[in-house]
Amino acid sequence: MVTYSAEATFSALADPTRRAVLDLLRKGRQPAGQIAQAFPVSRPAISKHLRLLRRAHLVNEHREGRHRFYHLNPEPLRAVDSWLEQYRSFWTASLSNLKAFVEAEYAKELARLDSPDLGLPRPPKRPSPHQPGLALSQGSKEKYVEQNRSGHRPRKTRTFRKGDRPS
């Protein structure tokens, strides 16, 4: 039985170009030249990526004459999958808890809306001139002016422009 280094696998998977090479090899065995043509980088760069994938045991190389064929080796990915399984169970539990919370809040909201007063907040009452502490002001528009402690409206102050001041 061969053991694969999870460290090497994660290191190889860290590069987006190497992940794209693995995606390309999922379709089946391909020669190095065809793999290189699928990418905008140079052939030596793709060769380096293939070498790193080979060292991580993610691809296997097979030589036929002058050509090198590569195919995907999925075994090292099982170590990644088992590591990810811990996080899958964590997220499944977390999302289940979130779903239960949201459904409970939704049920509360529906119950509140089904109540006789519909659960809607009441609009604030407009002060009437008959309430203590308030009186209508004189003028063209109705305004509510707060009275002072003695029950009188605050004194109006008048501002004068220069030259309009009474003598």
The CATH number of the structural domain formed by 6-76 is 1.10.10.10
CA proximity to 16, closest of 54, 51, 49: 49
| Residue 58 pLDDT | 94
pLDDT (tens digit, 9 = 90+) per residue, 11-23?
899 999 999 999 9
The answer to whether 134 and 127 have CB atoms below 8 angstroms apart is yes
Banded model confidence at residue 8, pLDDT cuts 50, 70, 90 = confident
The amino acid sitting at 98 is L
| Residue 161 pLDDT | 67
Name beta bridge partners: 45.
Answer: none
Kindly write down the DSSP assignment for every residue of 109-132, as one continuous string: HHHHHHSTTTTPPPPPPPPPTTST
The amino acid sitting at 86 is Q
3-state secondary structure of 88: helix
Banded model confidence at residue 86, pLDDT cuts 50, 70, 90 = confident
| Residue 6 pLDDT | 79
Kindly tell me if the per-residue pLDDT of 142 is higher than 60.
no
Banded model confidence at residue 143, pLDDT cuts 50, 70, 90 = very low
Q: pTM higher than 0.85, yes or no?
A: no
